[in-house]
Amino acid sequence: MQTSTGNNTTGKVVGPWPRSRWLLVGVGLGVGVLGLTAQILLRRSPPFSQMWSRLNARAYYRGGFQEKMTLREASQILGTSISSPPARIREAHRRVILANHPDRGGSPYLASKINAAKELMLQFRKKKDG
């Protein structure tokens, strides 16, 4: 412990941290523990766990392919919007086909669906523009 110097004329011993700082640290830790506890409880209760899984499942489409490909399905396969310009469609096709090409261990079926999605999207853009 140190004795204070400067404005303190009483000569009291002052600790390295005043009480208010310890209070803030305690409140911060309490809020953190409360947040983690709430997260664990919400994940384990059935209605909240279903909601939580829906929030986390937005990255991937969990359905099979439709019999006849639609524009919506084609845009989901390529990861673009239906109104994307042709350059964006080609760029998205290249990115997806490189990750799923049969020569690199991908599925020939998926590659055919990716190519069909690109063709459908480009035909739609051609009709819409011309």
Residue 105 has pLDDT above 60, yes or no: yes
Give the chain's domain count.
2
Q: Please give the average per-residue pLDDT across 89-97, as a whole number.
A: 94
Residue 17 or residue 21, greater confidence: 21
Residue 89 has pLDDT above 70, yes or no: yes
Residue 85 has pLDDT above 60, yes or no: yes
Q: What is the pLDDT of residue 17?
A: 67
Considering the domain boundaries, does residue 2 fall inside one?
no
**C-alpha torsion angle, residues 51, 57, 58, 63 (rounded to 10):** -120
Query: Which range, 20-24, 53-57, 116-120, is most confident?
Result: 116-120
% of the chain at pLDDT higher than 90: 46
Residue 125 near residue 85, CB atoms below 8 Å: yes
Q: What is the pLDDT of residue 64?
A: 80
Q: In the Cβ-directed half-sphere of 108, how many Cα atoms lie within 13 Å?
A: 0
Q: What is the pLDDT of residue 74?
A: 93
Domain shared by 74 and 96, yes or no = yes
Residue 36's domain comprises: 17-56
**CATH classification at residue 114:** 1.10.287.110
DSSP state, residue 103 = G
Backbone angles phi, psi at 83, to 5 degrees: -95, 15
C-alpha angle 49/50/53, rounded to 5°?
85
